[in-house]
Amino acid sequence: EVQLVESGGGLVQPGGSLRLSCAVSGFTFSGYWMHWVRQAPGKGLVWVSRIDSDVSNTNYADSVKGRFTISRDNARNTLFLQMNSLRAEDTAIYYCARQNNYAIDYWGQGTLVTVSS
């Protein structure tokens, strides 16, 4: 069974940092591109970042470029999102997601990040 389990969310002050993790199981992690997608409270889905299977390429939404870093450890079957210089508008549920061809076929349950003083 494919599983994606996020962790690391919580309450952080503006300007602070947080590192999200996504532990995966049930599939060959190293064979898939992975994404982070976020959803602010009561709002829609917004794509955040992508990393390819061998870590050679990454992409970021303009809103997080220069502040967030996506990475992965294929040996530990884990995806990461390092978030620095956090702002109130980064408050959201962050989902880890697996890409399959041109769609996201599996999503984690999400982890809530709240940026507030």
Partner 1 sequence: QSALTQPPSVSGSPGQSVTISCSGTSSDVGSYNRVSWYQQPPGTAPKIMIYEVSYRPSGVPDRFSGSKSGNTASLTISGLQAEDEADYYCSSYTSSSTFVFGTGTKVTVL
Contact set with partner 1 (CB under 8 A): 33, 35, 37, 44-47, 50, 52, 57, 59, 61, 95, 100-110
Backbone angles phi, psi at 43, to 5 degrees: -115, -175
CB of 14 to partner 1, least distance (A): 25
Kindly tell me which of 53 and 74 has the beta carbon lying closer to partner 1: 53
Q: How are beta strands 45-51 and 103-107 bridged, if at all?
A: unpaired
Kindly tell me which of 12 and 34 has the beta carbon lying closer to partner 1: 34
CB of 58 to partner 1, least distance (A): 10
d(CA 116, CA 69): 21
Kindly tell me which of 16 and 55 has the beta carbon lying closer to partner 1: 55
Q: Which residues of 74-113 are buried (b: 16+ CB within 10 A; e: fewer)?
A: eeebbbbbebeebeeebbbbbbbbbbeeeebebebebbeb
CB of 88 to partner 1, least distance (A): 20
Kindly tell me which of 86 and 93 has the beta carbon lying closer to partner 1: 93
CB of 95 to partner 1, least distance (A): 6
Number of helices (H) and strands (E), helices first, in the chain?
A: 0, 11
